[in-house]
Amino acid sequence: MALFERDRDEFGSDVGTRALSVTAVENDFVERVYEKLASVYDLTFGPTLHPGRLEALERMGIRSGDSILEVGVGTGINTALYPRSCRITGVDLSVSMLEKARRRVARVGLSNVRLMEMDAACLTFADDSFDIVYAPYLMSVVPDPVTVAREMRRVCKPGGKIIFLNHFRSESPVLSRLERAISPLTVHIGFKSDLDLPGFLAQADLQPVSIEKVNIPRIWSLVTCVKQ
């Protein structure tokens, strides 16, 4: 049974067509935000969001030889968490973030990791390239999360996992209205606070096999899908 039926929200709009956020961003804006955050990202968001990263690694069920694409690799904070027996490709749009990631990979000596500058909405990989495609704390800041999700699905092998770790708009009407109100402000620290999960999944044509709340406070979701 689907976790999200195609229903209507309080404004009468279908989840498949409704706006996902009140806040619009462009790639150059995202780049500027993360250029500023690059030097403090690990200190600011590292420990707080780390439990979710560990949960995501568990849900991947990584096997020896698996090929994994991390979309929005940032400073490479996840790279040392993966088993050395798998192959990791990390992509990001921020040059400053990638510079930190490259230094981290070199410092730890990770020969199974390659890092590439790339727009998540236009991945240059062939169809069906990766066993697991993972976007940690990314979808609520990209200009077009649906296009990014469709690209992730495209490059994932049939039967492979597509995993999102992200903050999505609350189901509570009160909190939902608050998140919509503050979204134009939170985007300046790296995320839109009002990304709509049912609408996002419907428009990306993805069916989740599990949705779990992670981190403390539990306002972050770990969403696991399998490519059919």
CATH number given to 27-60+91-226: 3.40.50.150
Handedness of CA 224, 211, 60, 200 (dihedral sign): positive
- Residue 38 vs residues 56, 103, 166, 206: alpha-carbon distances, Å: 22, 13, 19, 31
Lowest mean pLDDT among 1-5, 51-55, 218-222: 1-5
pLDDT surpasses 80 at 24 = yes
- How far apart are the C-alpha atoms of 40 and 142, rounded to whole Å? 20
| Burial class of residue 106, CB neighbours in 10 A (0-12, 13-18, 19+) | exposed
In eight-state DSSP terms, residue 126 is P
Residue 214 carries which side chain, given as an amino acid letter?
V
pLDDT of residue 167: 95
48-63 pLDDT tens trace: 999 999 999 999 999 9
Residue 113 carries which side chain, given as an amino acid letter?
V
- Residue 162 vs residues 62, 118, 133, 149, 172: alpha-carbon distances, Å: 13, 18, 5, 9, 26
Q: CA 167 from chain center: how many Å?
A: 9
- How far apart are the C-alpha atoms of 106 and 225, rounded to whole Å? 32
Lowest mean pLDDT among 110-114, 132-136, 217-221: 217-221
φ, ψ (nearest 5 deg) of residue 89 = -120, 125
Token pair, residue 63, equals 């096997």
pLDDT of residue 45: 80
pLDDT of residue 5: 39
Which has more confidence, 34 or 197? 197
Which has more confidence, 199 or 13? 199
Report whether the peptide linkage leading into residue 198 is cis, meaning its omega lies within 30 degrees of zero: no
**Order of strands across the sheet that contains 87-92:** 113-117, 87-92, 67-71, 130-136, 156-167, 220-226, 208-214
Residue 27 carries which side chain, given as an amino acid letter?
N
Q: What angle do CA 188, 191, 194 make, to 5 degrees?
A: 115
Arithmetic mean of pLDDT over the chain: 90
pTM for the structure as a whole: 0.88
